Structure formats: structure tokens, C-alpha cells
Amino acid sequence: MLLSKSLILNYLFKSLQQRKLNSVPDNRSSAKAVGLVGMIFLVLILGAIFVFDIGNIIRDLKTLRDNLRQGFGCKEASPKPSRVATPHDTVEQSTSV
């Protein structure tokens, strides 16, 4: 008697557990439309983040490339941006001429 009760309970729990893990297909057009709108929204948000950050990504990849080249002994790296002239520098140049 005890064995049969435990088998019945195990079967019920197994069935409940399987239903928790499996989703039921929903073929309604409204459900598909809501899913499509959600996917478009997520793609637009993630795409906007990527597009707004592309300048930083490119700059960081160039820095990484330069650091790797210097670390492995390559002689040629991309040129560094020139130093911005300060007002002090322009005054010295004009007075020395």
C-alpha cells in the first residue's frame, strides 16, 4: 500500500515538473504580434547602445592593438595624436620670432 502511494505521488510530481518547464505553443496572431514588437524593441535598444558606443569601441580596440604590438616587440604602431597646443606654447612661439 505504501509503495503504491509513493509511486502515485512521484508520477504526479513528475508531471507537474514537466509542465512547469515546457511552454505551450500559442498560435494566436495577437501573441505573435506582441512577441514581434518585444523583439523589435530589444533589438532597437541594444542597437542604439552599440551605435552610440562605437567610437569608444574603435578607440579601445586601437589602444589594445598598439599595446599588443608594443608588448610583442613590433616596432611600428599607429601614430599617437599630437599634443594640443596650449596658450603658453603659442605665446612662446610668437615672442621668439
pLDDT tens digits, residue range 2-19? Answer: 666 665 666 666 777 777
Position 16 scores a pLDDT of 72
Residue with the three cell numbers 621668439: 96
The per-residue pLDDT for range 36-71, each reduced to its tens digit, is 999 999 999 999 999 999 999 999 999 999 999 888
Q: What is the pLDDT of residues 42-51, one digit of tens each?
A: 999 999 999 9
Separation CA 81–CA 63 (nearest Å) = 12
Closest to 78 measured CA to CA, from 70, 64, 66: 66
